[in-house]
Copies of this chain bind each other. A is one copy, B any other.
Amino acid sequence: MSNLLKSWITSANSADTDFPLNNLPYGVFSIGDSDAHCGVAIGDMILDVTAAEEAGVLTPADVPVFDVPFWNDFMELGAEAWAAFRADLTAALAEGSEKQAALEPHLVAQSGATLHMPVAVSEYTDFYAGMQHAKNMGSIMRGSPDLPANWLHIPIGYNGRASTVVVSGTDIHRPLGQTKAPDTEMPSFGPCKRLDIELEMGAIVGTGSTMGQPISVDQADAMIFGYVLLNDWSARDIQGWEYQPLGPFQGKAFGTTISPWIVTAAALEDFRTATPPREKELLPYLAENKPGLYDINLEVTMQPKDAAKATTITRTNYSRMYYSAAQQLCHHAVCGCEMNAGDLLGSGTISGPTKDEFGSLLELSWAGREPFTLDTGETRSFIEDGDTLTLKGHAQGDGYRIGFGECRGTILPAVKNPFE
């Protein structure tokens, strides 16, 4: 395990910052009305790497890769270039660096910056790799905690909607949709009544695979560029009525929020941890040769519109998952499905074994049968208009942390139903 690396940017040298020199996560930001630039978070500052590249101070490739407001072009350079650039950045931002004077003009304060999507999402896939969550969903939706027959053999996933993946801070309208109560003959149309979150990690694919060619878990692991926090907003009533037989669709398509900083796999390397023991042996193509999960502490807070402070409603850890992102990516490509830079893989909802670790309101309120109480005294089963939900996460090092920043969204009232 490394120690805190010291930077000439002194705010990066605190044990509490999300963004010490050990982290160096990648994002996209703008100041006022200026163009969005690629940036690296360091302490309470952002290093404008678009400007630094233009000035010739940091040049990861022979051609510009930061002249676009997303990290896809950089990702496509491949893992060797990722490592070289990270090494350059680490040296340039370290205490005593000769580049300090050249980089200082390209630092901006995070407090004055607007953060944007760090990646142009090619396609979005969501998985279902948390065992406790799968058991809870079985109990709630199908009346039995028994896992689906394939669950211990397949990292089950489904394709989601990339067009509505948004960055932290983006408000989301309560969705309209079709639902049916168990005791009615006909469905109805209107605002979702059971609006929920799902606490997930998102893995960002950095280099692609070739159509028709499977990849191994090790190859998949090397293709993953980094991770973000991911909130898979879910309309449980819409989902419950639509999902048989072809899976979730409109219940998930209205929005997915990610944290603004891509924390690289390199920054998380010291925090690798193995998946839990197998309950049934996996087929060889899915076997894990090195620890594929990471020890990342996660929490979710909920804050009603007029509340003075947020209440922490759950705390868990990414290491609770049964399948790693590398196993998921391997399975995703194994039939010959081409994967591309910018593909986003949601881990599936992360729920630990006890109620205080559950990763969705559906589980925390047991489908509304056991509402929970916020610090303000209000109770909740699902999200009400004006509620802000925030995911946070960090890996805890010795005297430093690798933080993800926030993954935050506020739910706005449904738009007027245009069909009434």
- Interface residues of chain A, those whose CB is within 8 Å of chain B, are 122-123, 128, 142, 148-150, 153-154, 156-164, 166, 172-173, 175-178, 180, 186-189, 211-214, 216, 235, 238, 241-251, 253-255, 280-281, 283-285, 331-332, 334-340, 415, 418-419
CB–CB A187/B249 < 8 A: no
CB–CB A176/B242 < 8 A: no
A212: chain B residues at CB < 8 Å are: 172-173, 254, 415
CB distance from A102 to the nearest CB of B (A): 38
A176: chain B residues at CB < 8 Å are: 214, 334-336
A284: chain B residues at CB < 8 Å are: 189, 419
A419: chain B residues at CB < 8 Å are: 214, 216, 283-285
A331: chain B residues at CB < 8 Å are: 178, 250
CB–CB A337/B158 < 8 A: no
A156: chain B residues at CB < 8 Å are: 242, 245-246, 249
CB–CB B254/A335 < 8 A: yes
A335: chain B residues at CB < 8 Å are: 175-177, 235, 238, 250-251, 253-254
Q: Give complex CA distance A161, B238 in Å.
A: 23
Residue of B nearest to A138 (CB): B245
CB distance from A72 to the nearest CB of B (A): 14
Q: Give complex CA distance A338, B250 in Å.
A: 11
The 10 A-B pairs with the shortest beta carbon distances in the complex, nearest first, are A247-B247, A159-B159, A253-B337, A175-B335, A285-B419, A158-B246, A254-B336, A163-B338, A246-B247, A250-B335
Across the interface, A158 reaches (CB within 8 A) one of B150, B189, B211, B247, namely B247
Across the interface, A283 reaches (CB within 8 A) one of B164, B189, B250, B251, namely B189
CB–CB B158/A178 < 8 A: no
CB–CB A249/B161 < 8 A: no
A213: chain B residues at CB < 8 Å are: 415
Across the interface, A159 reaches (CB within 8 A) one of B160, B175, B332, namely B160
Q: Give complex CA distance A235, B335 in Å.
A: 10
CB–CB A241/B150 < 8 A: yes
CB distance from A79 to the nearest CB of B (A): 20
Q: Which of A148, A156, A213 has the most CB of B within 10 A?
A: A156
CB–CB A244/B148 < 8 A: yes
Residue of B nearest to A330 (CB): B419
Q: Which of A172, A186, A281, A418 has the most CB of B within 10 A?
A: A418
CB–CB B418/A214 < 8 A: yes
13 A–B contact pairs at CB < 8 A? A142-B245, A148-B244, A148-B245, A154-B187, A159-B253, A164-B337, A189-B285, A214-B419, A245-B247, A246-B247, A247-B248, A254-B337, A255-B336
Q: Give complex CA distance A247, B244 in Å.
A: 8
Residue of B nearest to A284 (CB): B419
Q: Give complex CA distance A150, B243 in Å.
A: 9
CB–CB A150/B187 < 8 A: yes
A283: chain B residues at CB < 8 Å are: 178, 187-189, 419
CB distance from A234 to the nearest CB of B (A): 11
A336: chain B residues at CB < 8 Å are: 164, 173, 175-176, 253-255, 415
A149: chain B residues at CB < 8 Å are: 180, 244
Q: Give complex CA distance A360, B154 in Å.
A: 26
Residue of B nearest to A211 (CB): B164
A243: chain B residues at CB < 8 Å are: 245-247
Q: Give complex CA distance A334, B415 in Å.
A: 11
Q: A157-B249, A163-B340, A176-B336 are in contact. List 7 more A-B contacts (CB 8 A).
A: A153-B187, A154-B178, A158-B246, A178-B283, A187-B283, A250-B334, A251-B335
CB–CB A246/B128 < 8 A: yes
Residue of B nearest to A151 (CB): B245
